[in-house]
Structure 1
Amino acid sequence: MPFLSRRQLTVLGTAAMLVATGCTSTGLTTTGTSAHPNGDHAAAMRQEPPVPTTAEDWKPVADVLGRSGTVMGGTVYRVPLPRKDLTVTTQGVTVKPGLALGGYAAFARYRDTTMLMGDLVVTETELPKVTDALQAAGIEQTALHKHLLQQSPAVWWTHIHAMSDPVGLARSLKTVLATTATLPSSPPPATQPAVDLDTRGIDKALDRKGTADNGIYKFTIARKDTINDGPYLLPPALGLTTGINFQPLGDKKAAVNGDFVMTAPEVQKVIQALRKGHIDIVELHNHGLTEQPRLFYLHFWATADGVTLAQALRPALDTTNPAP
């Protein structure tokens, strides 16, 4: 099955919903709108959630990729793609893969198609080959940016999007990954290494419970909003979350890195709150092209006492309509 662009899928999905809701008008325009007989276009555009799945449903995808993932939220199959082959330093800190080098591919199955969204970590040398491979595979490149300020070697992050049958998506993604030195996935450690941070103090400052993951203390925070792309509802696990990661540096100090997911009115508030807390702004960009409400992402960096960093991050987080 050939990959369709999000524009084509939006128009096709809209047309199907109009028929399903009894709209026989042929006035579908290039913007995906048409007059419903009862004036109730919203009824014709009810959003379609992804269907529930299990790990077994995604076994063909795992077999093609040679990598296993985890079903999140009962619908999204998320495959980690960390760059454990790289040794990246920034501002004197050797960055662990879990802090900033954790790419991923996320799959969600809908009634008529499967969506792939992801973030690939690539070196500057790999980037042209990855871009060409994505274009040849029919996978959209929706963003290109950095997560870190000064860094060695130079590393880029590129967001991807495609819709087709799941095995076809997996095959195409595999051809892209083959242009990089991304290592095969490895099982998680039997026991988590100790995190030399005041995690209770960090939890209290952020009013949330973090998770230890290979020596990194992490927070993943969804928004309260309902997000959609054309006729498709987008669950947070596709990558629509705020991520805050703490890497211990010794003596309860940490490097903090991640990104805030924001709507346009929130962007300046987040920037102001972060700078008030002496946290550096790294990048402001999009991940997708046509989601609603429109979302922007802001990457940040700082090193200091872990609890102090969490206290500085909290005002920025509170401006972004976060879920509890």
Structure 2
Amino acid sequence: MHVKLALIATAVALSAATAAIAGSPEWSIFAEPFITNAHAQAIDWQKVDDTLGRKPAVSGDVRRYGFPRSDLNVTLDGVTIKPSLALGGWVAFKPAHGGAMVMGDLVLLETEITPVMTKLVQGGLEITAVHNHLLRANPATFYMHVGGHGDPLKMATALHDALAASKTPLTAAPASPPPAIDLDTAQLDQIIGVKGQNNGGVYAFAVPRRDPVNEAGMEIAPVGPMGVAQGINFQPTGSGKAAITGDFALTGDEVNPVIKALLAGGIEVTAVHSHMLDEQPRLFFLHFWANDDAAKLAKGIRGALDKTASGKS
């Protein structure tokens, strides 16, 4: 994601922190990139939680709020897509000099794009991408990446008002144990090379890149919540099969080797595009889809991961 900040004398107001995946803002050069614990603790996060109407998942100094499109019944090739497979909108806040930076990926219907975009822009946030992740889905869904820097409560208010222009549920559903994963998850862990997690009945992997991704001299971390890990999701579809989707975060020279590896593994490439506007190294995000034997697909994904600078534990 990319928030363009002009260099002005009041560096306190305009210095910025990292940005991410699922998007990354463009920041001007700033003098004090690292944030003290005292500064981070000075933010009244309870007010942000109250404004957004939910509690975040906290990882390091990043607070990530989920906005799944649980209101939608989206099907693709006969598969009813769980929100955590491909409909999990989110926004993440990271303390930054002068307040916080925010980035996110909102899941929208076609008719919701302009009303939500208008509210975001009016609220001082920036749009860094609008695009598809899936093909043939019914109804079609689109993904709007956003970014901003400043007062976290003001940005939370702008995000709430923008989402209110869509039918995104603004009241968080009560927490409940996720349904069991009807797959050999130990086998999937072994093939992919990292341990997955049960995310709402979807078995989800976040495979980090070996080299850091930076924004204006600051490392984008943690990579999973900030959207710059290889995200791979398996939704069981019965008899050992799974529908898979997600995205690879790739440098330019990795894009076509990964495409070839996925196609060789029987996995469809559904989109290649940017999520951010100014990150180093430059990244492209490749989305995919398949519904087949889970172990077979995991091997196809592993073959694609081997074409990237991604770690395998």
Q: TM-score range by the shorter chain?
A: 0.7 to 0.9
Over 3 Å counting, the alpha-carbon distance change for 1:318 and 1:55 in structure 2 is farther
8 Å CA contact retained: 2:192, 2:298? yes
> Who is 2:57 aligned against?
70
Task: Give the superposition deviation at 1:80.
Answer: 0.5
Verify the 8 A CA contact 1:47 1:231 in the aligned structure 2. no
**Correspondence for 2:4 among 4, 7, 13:** 7
Tell me, yes or no, if the aligned pair for 1:55 and 1:70 is still in contact at 8 Å: no
Matched residue, 2:23: none
Identity %: 42
In the alignment, is residue 274 of structure 1 matched against residue 262 of structure 2? yes
Larger radius of gyration: 1
Equivalent residues of 1:47, 1:228 under 8 A apart: no
Paired position in structure 1 for 2:181? 195
The 8 Å contact of residues 205 and 314 in structure 1, kept in 2 or not, is answered as: yes
CA distance in 1, matches of 2:139, 2:3: 34
Question: Which residue of structure 2 aligns with residue 294 of structure 1?
Answer: 282
Q: Which amino acid aligns with 1:306?
A: A
Q: How far 1:32 sits from its partner (Å)? A: 6.4
Q: CA deviation at 1:295?
A: 1.1
Residue 135 (structure 1) aligned to one of 121, 125, 136: 121
Say whether 1:303 aligns with 2:291: yes
Partners in 1 of 2:8 and 2:211 — Cα distance?
A: 25
How far did residue 194 of structure 1 move? 1.4
What are the ranges of 5 or more consecutive residues in structure 1 without an aligned counterpart? 17-30, 34-44
In structure 2, the gaps of 5 or more residues are 13-26
**Greater CA drift, 61-70 or 116-125:** 61-70
CA distance in 1, matches of 2:281, 2:80: 36
**2:251 paired residue among 247, 257, 263:** 263
2:102 matched to 1:105?
A: no
How far does residue 50 in structure 1 lie from its aligned partner after superposition? 5.1
**Letter of the 2:71 counterpart:** D
Letter in 2 for 1:288: M
Query: Are the structure 2 counterparts of residues 54 and 192 from structure 1 closer, same or farther at C-alpha, using a change threshold of 3 Å?
Result: farther
Paired residue secondary structure (2:4): helix
Pairing partner for 1:240 from 213, 216, 228: 228
Report the aligned-residue RMSD. Answer: 2.4
In structure 2, the CA distance between the partners of 1:194 and 1:54, relative to structure 1 (3 Å rule), is farther
Which string of whole-angstrom CA distances, capped at 9 and with x for unpartnered residues, describes residues 40-78 of structure 1? xxxxx7882455557995212101111211211x11000
Q: Secondary structure at the match of 2:5?
A: helix
Residue of structure 1 in register with 2:48 after alignment: 61
Q: For residue 6 of structure 1, give the secondary structure of its aligned residue in structure 2.
A: coil
Matched, 1:250 2:250: no
Instruction: Check whether the contact 1:49–1:233 (CA below 8 A) recurs between aligned residues.
Output: no
Q: Match for residue 38 of structure 1?
A: none
- Check 1:260–1:51 CA distance in 2 against 1; reply closer, same or farther (3 A cut): farther
Match of 2:308 in 1: 320
Instruction: Answer whether contact 1:49 1:234 (CA < 8 A) is retained.
Output: no
Task: State how far apart, in whole Å, the 2-side matches of 1:103 and 1:13 are.
Answer: 36
**How far has the Cα of 1:6 moved from its partner?**
3.0
- The letter for the 2-side match of 1:277 is G
For 1:137, the aligned partner's letter is G
Instruction: Kindly indicate whether residue 79 of structure 2 is the aligned counterpart of residue 93 of structure 1.
Output: yes
Native 8 Å contact 1:51 1:75 kept in 2: no
Residue aligned with 2:190, SS: helix
The DSSP-based 3-state class of the residue aligned with 1:67 is: coil
Relative contact order (C-alpha < 8 Å, sep 6+): which is higher?
Answer: 2
User: Which residue number corresponds to residue 17 of structure 2?
Assistant: none
Task: Please give the secondary structure, in 2, of the residue aligned with 1:125.
Answer: helix
Over 3 Å counting, the alpha-carbon distance change for 1:252 and 1:32 in structure 2 is closer
Cα distance change of structure 1 residues 166 and 15 upon mapping to structure 2, 3 Å threshold? closer
User: Which secondary structure does the structure 2 equivalent of 1:160 belong to?
Assistant: strand
Check conservation: 2:100, 2:151, Cα contact below 8 A.
yes
Are 1:157 and 2:175 an aligned pair?
A: no
CA displacement at 1:222 relative to structure 2: 2.0
Partner of 2:273: 285
Alignment match, 2:213 = 227
